Chain A
Amino acid sequence: MSDISTTLAGIKLVNPFMVASGILDENGYTMKELLERGAAAVVTKSIGISERDGYPTPVIVEYGDSLINAVGLSNPGIENFGEEINIAKEAKRPIIGSVFAYNAEEFTKLSVKMEEYGVDAIELNLSCPHVKGFGLEVGSDPDLVEDIVNEIKSKVKVPVFAKLSPNVSNIIEIAKAAEKADAYVLINTVKAMAIDIYSRSPVLSNLYGGLSGPAIKPVGIRYVYEVKKETGKEIIGVGGISNYKDAIEYIMAGASAVQIGTALYKYGKGIFREMEWQLRTFMDEERFEKIEEMVGVAIKR
């Protein structure tokens, strides 16, 4: 019988399947339920310094089995989020606190607060808009990324994961800027848009959104592969994972664990137990005893 547990920055996970940030992770009871239904860990909604409504509806476009979302980082604010984490912790599985901000100071403040709430790790959402504007993301500026990661690492003791955006021209440069992080999370959403031809309007109230789901899996696989090959660092793969085969593909590209997001829309909460069973079957048949034996096996050097 294969061992489907994995370890990530010293954190033991009973299986490689986590809940991705932004998916069913705003309410503590929901996170608790997903952990009880088999998710090995959950990444919280990305939390900011202040309460934020996010964008008005519509905030979602169904794009086949994929989604374009523009929820707009809606969140209750860090001061109001401790209660949700306390509820989620009743499930006794790792909680990773996701944070977003516009500068190193605020990222650090948020991370320290998340650590106080008792999260097991911090995930840095580097895809929020750069304070200088011009439509840039924080995560597209290597100097800023380096400052953020370094400052947080000097202040918190829990592991820090940097979630990298695919909307960059050189992801290796950004990954190296974040090299003090304990692991990378690859990828966040791809910039996207949809127009309704009968109303002749963009569908999302924010016009633009982030594409996630099966449509972006090949992008995620490539980035995990490239970054693992170039840096050797631990990676969590995320982007379009809908079944155990997708998860294994990410693991073979170099991920030590994967996050499930958009697939919950199509397959529901039972997806974790189902993938656990299927992964174990695959590993038995292909004679892998441990997840770590599969990590990065596809990488050609």
Chain B
Amino acid sequence: MINLKIEENVKESQNVNTLYFNWDQDIRPGQFAMIWIPGYGEIPMSFSGLGRRKSITVKAYGSASRKLTELKAGDDLFLRGPYGNGFDVREGRKLLVGGGSGIVSLYPIADQETDALISAKTRDELIFKDRFPESRRFIATDDGSDGFHGFAHELLQRINIDSYEAIYVCGPEQMMYKVLQVLKGRKVFVQFSLERTMKCGIGICDSCSLGGKQVCKEGPVFNIEELIGNPEFGVYRTTYSGRRIRLNVK
């Protein structure tokens, strides 16, 4: 395991913290690391900041991630990686489409001209909203508590998609599946960053597989063409034991 030191822990919202640390490793946007919390487990995390001073942004949802949000300046951070293929970052105007924590993985792509569509179930779950100026962001909440009342794919249909050179998407699979339906057939370059249950993180255990591809190694970033026709994307997921479960996407 690589051993680093936490420099700072910044609270983003009730359950979300950004941990800053120094690491000289070159990392491409969209790559991830397996973060180890000794005694609590290991979880895959993408990077929310990629300079020499790097960051991960953690939402507490299980014991390992909760423990991670509690780390303080000076504490040890253990990890292995970076893993995965990362985004193909294009020149020109970009749109980031983030669902829930998905905007965190997309954030390192952003530049001065980048727009962001940020969606969440409710206002309190919007993350990184303030990292984009009002003129460059579109907000959607399922319950209408902030911005557009509805889902990301619905708001996306009201945006001039053809004015972008590239669109990058990350969020819950159901959301991404719907976004794919809106974007397929369009001329714009589109990539999705996927998330699946991961164990090894290096492409051998088959836990995170999707229609023959390993999300940890051949992904997490896939071109839209690779996902159209993938027999499992948006259709199946697997339990920790590897049992196939059909998703209910309407």
Contact = CB atoms under 8 A, between A and B. Distances in A.
Contacts, number: 122
B192 to A, nearest CB: 18
B1 A199 contact: yes
Contact of B202 (A76, A83, A261, A265): A265
Interface in A67-100: 67, 69, 71, 74-77, 80, 83-84
Contacts of A69: 200, 205
B242 A74 contact: yes
Interface in B156-173: none
A33 B212 contact: yes
Contacts of B201: 60
Nearest to A261: B204
Interface string B186-203: 000000000000111111
A60 B202 contact: yes
**Interface of A: prevailing SS:** loop
A58 B206 contact: no
B242 A75 contact: yes
B76 A27 contact: no
Nearest to A202: B38
Interface in A222-276: 261-262, 264-265, 268
A53 B241 contact: yes
Nearest to B80: A62
Contacts of B92: none
A199 B38 CA distance: 7
A231 to B, nearest CB: 31
A57 B41 contact: yes
A198 B238 contact: no
A65 B128 CA distance: 39
A30 B214 contact: yes
A33 B209 CA distance: 11
A23 B204 contact: yes
A26 B34 contact: no
A191 to B, nearest CB: 19
A203 B199 contact: no
B65 to A, nearest CB: 12
Most buried by B among A45, A52, A54: A54
Contacts of B243: 51, 76-77, 80
Q: What are the 7 A-B residue pairs with the smallest beta carbon separation, nearest first?
A: A33-B212, A76-B243, A26-B206, A57-B42, A58-B42, A29-B212, A27-B209
